[in-house]
Amino acid sequence: MFVGLRTPDPWGAKFAKKPFTVCVSRDHPVVITKYIEQAKEIEISAVVKDGMVMRYISEHIENAGVHSGGATLIHPPQDLDLQTVRQIEEATAKIGNVLNVTGPFNIQFIAKNNEYDLGPPYCPVVLVRVEGYWY
């Protein structure tokens, strides 16, 4: 099986001389995103400065697994209960503190049936993208 390969810098230079396909094997695994039915991605964008976290939460309309660049978002979220929102805000603050983030960052969570904790084997955090600096 061959899969198209897109590589961000700094890997771009390494792969520039090779074809943009790889043979999928145990040595060359590929992650395939799967929709999680009846689950939503909840996206929170935040900025941290001097220990203060400013944030806003958006809710994806599509099922979890749709790439955020192609997703439709609602702000503020319409279908989340207050407990789920608070759990996500608390988790965001903890993740930002653990990573010592200063500046903007983004986290995507999964919530199913208004429950943030899906239990094993699901991890409710899909993505953490730090766009600022951390020390």
* pLDDT per residue as tens digits for the range 21-77: 455 667 766 665 666 677 888 889 988 887 778 888 988 887 776 665 677 888 888
* pTM, two decimal places: 0.64
Give the residue extent of every domain in the chain: 1-32, 36-134
Averaged pLDDT of the chain: 71
For the chain, strand residue ranges (E) read 2-4, 21-23, 36-49, 52-64, 73-74, 101-112, 125-130, 133-134
What is the CATH code of the structural domain delimited by 36-134?
3.30.470.20
**Tell me: the pLDDT tens digits for 75-84?**
888 888 888 8
What is the b/e burial string over 35-57, where b = at least 16 CB atoms within 10 angstroms of the residue's CB?
A: ebeebbbbbbbbbbeeeebebeb
